[in-house]
């Protein structure tokens, strides 16, 4: 059964599993399959949908808008993001300048075929724009009714603190951060999550299945499955390659008995583990086929005991990245072009 959680220190509730269309809509799969996957998410009780203007260079937003057409808007939570280059990638077509934010929100709303988004997110931190300018632009987006709430993505603890202080002065608050987080990527646990708890910020996490590695379908010593993300030349193969090591894949397979004890797949166990963190408001799942959505939603409401969490860590923690410095190390040092 679908479960909902408050997003940060706000009154907004979102579904704890969120349907996201990075690397799929507009690029990896055909529109009919993408739309069928969105409808499967709706049928499963998922009400929250995450996209970004940069996904498939704006095409993903348009596909999501088409897939949600005819749904009761008030029953949905639609999230999108701004920062990365879009369009012809001109000198002002990226970043978090006032110009780019105010122009980008209008483009996103048009493609999504909606008057507003529930959550508008800074897709990364912009080192070249004064933070005061960015925060004021977001405040104006909210005042204009084009976004109801503001979030960020992959900001460090210090950046979250500075952003929240300015946001409160501007009359709104940052309610979410969207970092990568999974059994294999835990860099937010040391600094970002403690800071977020102090600031009233929740996490909406991406790649909770480590680009599909935590489904268990990638086997040690075996070729990658045909049609999987590891074969996707549009970006999927690049994002997953760091996990395709036999020792790590063997460890993932050792999660199977723990999953079996709970009547779960490795993927469902991995999603349940993410959602057992109290600061996680939701985990973003993607799908190229409707049945993948249906399978993932079996993680709804699963509670894992302390003994089970310890057993999972004994198997997988030696292979997990936990260094808090990775948040800034992986961040862009200058505005992309």
User: From residue 256, how far is each of 63, 84, 208, 312, 337 by CA, in Å?
Assistant: 35, 38, 17, 10, 43
**Does 181 qualify as catalytic in the annotation?**
no
Q: Could you tell me if 316 and 280 are in contact, meaning their C-beta atoms sit under 8 angstroms apart?
A: no
The span from the CA of 264 to the CA of 270, in Å, is 10
Cα–Cα nearest to 254, from 313, 307, 209? 313
CB 283 within 8 A of CB 208: yes
Burial class (CB in 10 A: 0-12, 13-18, 19+), 244: middle
Q: Which of 55, 83, 125, 181 is catalytic?
A: 55
Instruction: Tell me if 199 sits within 8 A of 227, measured CB to CB.
Output: no
Where are the alpha helices (H) located in the chain, listed in sequence order? 31-43, 59-68, 98-112, 131-143, 157-169, 192-199, 236-240, 246-253, 256-261, 266-275, 290-296, 306-316, 326-329
Helix extents (H) in 209-325: 236-240, 246-253, 256-261, 266-275, 290-296, 306-316
Structure tokens at 99: 């110009």
Question: Which residues belong to the active site?
Answer: 55
């Amino acid at each position: 059964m679908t479960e909902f959680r408050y997003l940060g220190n706000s009154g907004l509730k979102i579904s704890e599993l969120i349907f996201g269309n990075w690397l799929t809509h507009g690029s990896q799969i055909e529109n009919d399959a993408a739309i069928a996957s969105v409808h499967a998410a709706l049928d499963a009780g998922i009400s929250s949908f995450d996209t970004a203007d940069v996904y498939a260079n704006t095409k993903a937003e348009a596909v999501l808008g088409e897939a949600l057409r005819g749904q009761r808007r008030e029953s949905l939570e639609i999230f999108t993001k701004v920062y990365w280059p879009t369009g012809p990638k001109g000198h002002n077509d990226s970043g978090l300048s006032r110009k780019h934010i105010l122009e980008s929100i209008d483009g996103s709303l048009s493609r999504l075929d909606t008057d507003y988004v529930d959550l508008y997110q800074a897709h990364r931190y912009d080192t070249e724009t004064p933070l005061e300018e960015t925060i004021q632009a977001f405040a104006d987006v909210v005042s204009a009714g084009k976004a109801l709430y503001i979030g960020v993505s992959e900001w460090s603890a210090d950046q979250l603190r500075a952003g929240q202080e300015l946001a409160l002065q501007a009359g709104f608050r940052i309610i979410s951060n969207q970092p990568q987080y999974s059994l294999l990527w835990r860099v937010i646990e040391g600094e970002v999550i403690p800071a977020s708890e102090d600031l009233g910020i929740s996490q909406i996490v991406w790649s909770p299945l480590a680009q599909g590695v935590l489904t268990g379908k990638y086997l040690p010593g075996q070729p990658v499955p045909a049609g999987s993300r590891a074969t996707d030349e549009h970006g999927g193969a690049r994002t997953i390659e760091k996990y395709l090591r036999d020792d790590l894949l063997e460890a993932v397979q050792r999660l199977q008995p723990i999953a079996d004890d709970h009547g779960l797949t490795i993927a469902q166990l991995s999603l349940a583990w993410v959602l057992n963190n109290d600061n996680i408001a939701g985990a973003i799942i993607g799908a190229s086929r409707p049945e993948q959505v249906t399978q993932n939603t079996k993680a709804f409401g699963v509670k894992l005991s302390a003994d089970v969490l310890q057993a999972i860590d004994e198997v997988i923690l030696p292979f997990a990245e936990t260094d808090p410095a990775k948040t800034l190390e992986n961040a862009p040092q200058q505005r992309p072009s």
